[in-house]
């Protein structure tokens, strides 16, 4: 089953929200974040410039999360980014 762009954005939002809420994440969650971003950028259906700007940042967050030694510290150091990304995704996809 293929997820729509809106479904992918909602899933990405939920993953980021869970990281912020729990200050934890698994390797598979970071890999899922990367896959979602790759899929979203590959389909060329996203035209929002703000979202196109933050998707590479979110991808890098996922990439770093796969190898970081201290996951809570990684999340804490990105808490402002997480808030911004979540808000941007919500503004675009949940309207």
| pLDDT tier, 3 (very low <50, low <70, confident <90, very high otherwise) | confident
Continuous H helices in the chain: 5-22, 27-42, 49-67, 71-77, 79-93
Q: Which residue has the higher pLDDT, 1 or 34?
A: 34
Q: Which residue has the higher pLDDT, 2 or 22?
A: 22
pLDDT tens digits, one per residue of 43-68:
787 888 899 999 999 999 999 999 99
Under 8 Å CB-to-CB from 81, ≥6 apart: which residues? Answer: 57, 61
Specify whether the backbone of 18 is left (phi greater than 0), alpha (psi in -120 to 50) or beta. alpha
Indicate the domain borders of the chain: 5-93
Q: What length is written for the chain?
A: 95
Tokens of 28: 């598979």
Identify whether the C-beta of residue 48 lies closer than 8 Å to the C-beta of residue 92: yes
């Amino acid at each position: 089953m293929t997820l729509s762009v809106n479904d992918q954005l909602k899933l990405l939002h939920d993953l980021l929200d869970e990281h912020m809420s729990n200050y934890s994440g698994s390797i598979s969650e970071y890999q899922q974040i990367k896959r979602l971003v790759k899929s979203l950028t590959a389909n060329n259906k996203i035209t929002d410039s703000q979202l196109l700007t933050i998707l590479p940042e979110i991808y890098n967050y996922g990439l770093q999360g796969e190898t970081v030694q201290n996951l809570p510290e990684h999340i804490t150091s990105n808490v402002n980014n997480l808030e911004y990304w979540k808000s941007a995704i919500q503004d675009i996809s949940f309207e």
